[in-house]
């Protein structure tokens, strides 16, 4: 039986996914970074890859004053940079959850 490249990749991913539970934590973390293109996962949130969502996260990282970054400030700066305000709002909350900031006010 000959597998296509896509089938081989899916099989490889399935095997690695099953093996990750048997690996040491450091090896598992490195493997997951490779599988997910180097994107980290924290608090059950995976950081976005390249694109508009990543641009918002990069902007928020430059604004980062911890939990003191406000939605209003993020949307205002995002508008200045030409970002869609709805996307900025969504990514603001994902970024806060990723970083473990308390969302309750």
Give every CB contact of residue 74 below 8 A, 6+ residues apart in sequence: 56, 59, 60, 63, 88, 89, 92
**pLDDT-based confidence at residue 21 (cuts at 50, 70, 90):** low
Asked if residue 61 lies in contact with residue 26, where contact means CB atoms within 8 angstroms, the answer is: no
pTM above 0.75, yes or no: no
Asked if residue 28 lies in contact with residue 18, where contact means CB atoms within 8 angstroms, the answer is: no
Q: Where are the domains of the chain?
A: 5-38, 48-99
For residue range 43-96, list pLDDT tens digits in order: 889 899 889 999 999 999 998 676 789 999 999 999 999 999 999 999 999 999
Q: Radius of gyration of the chain from Cα atoms?
A: 18
Give every CB contact of residue 39 below 8 A, 6+ residues apart in sequence: 33, 46, 47, 48, 49
């Amino acid at each position: 039986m000959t597998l296509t490249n896509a089938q081989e990749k899916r099989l490889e991913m399935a095997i690695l996914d099953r093996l990750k539970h048997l690996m040491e934590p450091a090896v598992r973390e490195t493997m997951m970074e490779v599988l997910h293109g180097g994107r980290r996962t924290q608090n059950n949130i995976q950081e976005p890859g390249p694109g508009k969502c990543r641009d918002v996260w990069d902007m928020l990282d430059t604004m980062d004053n911890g939990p003191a970054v406000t939605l209003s400030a993020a949307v205002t700066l995002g508008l200045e940079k030409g970002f869609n305000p709805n996307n900025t709002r969504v990514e603001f909350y994902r970024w806060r959850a990723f970083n473990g900031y308390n969302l309750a006010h």
